[in-house]
Structure 1
Amino acid sequence: MLLARLRAHLRRRPPSSAPEEGPIRVGDLTVDTSARRCLLAADEIALRPKEFELLVVLARHAGVAVSREVLMAQVWDENWFGPTKTLDVTIASLRRRLSEAADASPHTLTLPDITTLRGHGYRLEAFPPGPAPRTGHDVPPS
């Protein structure tokens, strides 16, 4: 069993010769994986290790549904024997920390939402649900 856990950790760890991934930006949120920092605009948010790892996985797949099984395997371990309620508690804590940081900021920020997909998992969305932001290509000709 110990050997299986070691193999799982080695699979998740990037090779030492691989270049470090740059910061991930979703709305006004920046997740810098190489420095293990999370910034909302210019303000750093203090996250617990599992909250940070969970945010990294969700940010890398922003806008895409990520299953509970994938999150548990990538953030905890594929051999995790505890309850999956741990994921729900960590998501709630992460949402609270992001919300508190946004409320403390004097600026109007685009805070990504973490949407619960009942029976499947979660999705990190850059923009709140509702009409999609318009781009120059969406504007009808006058």
Structure 2
Amino acid sequence: MLLPRLRVHLRRRTLASPPSEPVALGDLVLDEIARRCTLHGVDVPLRPKEFELLALLGRHAGEAVSHETLMAEIWDENWFGSTKTLDVNMAGLRRRRTTAAKSSPRPARLPQITTLRGHGYRLEQEHG
């Protein structure tokens, strides 16, 4: 039981190493090293799994990311619970993103998270 978990953690470290510089996702800035998400310089409070979801989708912006990939990378490939936990965390991420935009002193451009029915999610890239 311990060996598979260690393999997952080692794989995460080597394959999913965070970018060294913060990444702009519209007006959101995601700093994986500091584990901070800001909108116009103001912290956006995210739960740990919400932050990891946004970071993973941000690293793959414009690409479809399957439910299976999200569950394996964020929860663990040995997760035995329901995938409903992914849906609940995604809803929380969307809600916090919207709340941050509403409380922002100026209009905010936020990346859209598209649900790909039967597959997963995609973080839409901004054009122009």
Q: Same fold (TM over 0.5)?
A: yes
User: Could you say which structure has the higher helix fraction?
Assistant: 2
Runs of 4+ aligned residues of structure 1 deviating over 6 Å after TM superposition are none
The CA distance in 1 between the partners of 2:53 and 2:2, in whole Å, is 24
For residues 81-128 of structure 1, give each alpha carbon's deviation from its aligned partner in whole angstroms, at most 9, with x where no partner exists.
11000000000000000000000012111111110000100001144x
2:6: which partner in 1? Answer: 6
Deviation at 1:21, TM superposition (A): 2.1
Change (3 A) 1:28 1:19: closer
Structure 2 match to 1:30:
29
TM-score computed with the length of structure 2 as normaliser: 0.92
**TM (normalized to structure 1)?**
0.83
Count of aligned pairs: 127
Say if 2:18 and 2:32, in contact at 8 Å, map to a contact too. Answer: no
Q: Distance in 2 between matches of 1:86 and 1:96?
A: 15
> Do 1:111 and 1:126's aligned partners in 2 also have CA atoms closer than 8 Å?
no
One-letter amino acid of the counterpart of residue 6, structure 1: L
Match of 1:137 in 2: none
Structure 2 gaps of 5+ residues are none
Flag the structure with more relative contact order, 1 or 2, with Cα contacts below 8 A and sequence separation at least 6.
2
Match of 1:40 in 2: 39
